[in-house]
């Protein structure tokens, strides 16, 4: 063995170890983003159904059950926001947008994504959108 080559194996080992650790960190963070995105989709989907349960009672009592039941916009906004905030810390939520038109509810939520090995990175955001319509059959 040449005296100049004594540390070559150690350098290769350290280099490969750093590549392995970097790949592991990326894989863990990507999995975390994907799982948090799926959970957010589920929460927003459930929130849209919560919104369709907020019937305008004045209209319901006045006209009875009809195919065009309207929703109470203020109650929809309040209940959907309450439902989403019950699943997340308020500091994580960037924006909640709730739109109600007659018997349709559309929801858009954007939140910060918590990375398990993020080293303080807070620029990763995820969002989800869902809509639902109340129909009387």
20-54, pLDDT tens digit by residue?
A: 999 998 899 889 889 999 999 999 999 998 988 88
Report if residue 30 sits inside a domain: yes
Q: 6 pLDDT exceeds 70?
A: no
In a domain, 2, yes or no: no
pLDDT at 87 over 60: yes
- Position 1 in a domain: no
Q: Across all residues in the chain, what is the average pLDDT? A: 85
Say if 81 falls within a structural domain. yes
Q: Of 96, 93, 91, 117, give the one whose Cα is nearest residue 106.
A: 96
**Residue 1 pLDDT > 70:** no
Its pTM stands at: 0.79
Q: Which of 54-63, 80-89, 120-129 has the highest mean pLDDT?
A: 80-89
Residue 25 in any domain: the answer is yes
Domains identified in the chain, total number: 1
Where in the sequence is the domain holding 107, given as residue range(s)?
A: 7-133
pLDDT at residue 71, rounded to an integer: 85
Question: Average of pLDDT values for 80-93?
Answer: 89
Tokens of 126: 């995820």
Percent of the chain with pLDDT over 70: 88
Query: Which residues neighbour 123 within 8 Å (Cβ) at sequence distance 6 or greater?
Result: none
Residue 40 CB partners (closer than 8 Å, separation 6+): 109, 111, 126, 127, 128
Asked if the model's pLDDT at residue 128 lies above 70, the reply is yes
């Amino acid at each position: 063995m040449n005296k100049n080559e004594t540390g070559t194996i150690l350098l290769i080992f350290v280099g490969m170890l750093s590549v392995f650790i970097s790949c592991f960190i990326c894989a863990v963070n990507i999995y975390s983003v994907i799982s948090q995105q799926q959970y957010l989709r589920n929460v927003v989907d459930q929130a849209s159904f919560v919104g369709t349960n907020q019937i305008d009672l004045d209209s319901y009592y006045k006209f009875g059950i009809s195919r065009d039941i309207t929703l109470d916009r203020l109650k929809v906004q309040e209940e959907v926001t309450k439902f989403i905030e019950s699943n997340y810390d308020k500091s994580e939520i960037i924006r909640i947008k709730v739109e109600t038109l007659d018997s349709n509810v559309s929801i858009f939520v954007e939140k910060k994504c918590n990375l398990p090995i993020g080293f303080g990175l807070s620029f990763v955001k995820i969002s989800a959108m869902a809509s639902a319509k109340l129909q009387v059959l």
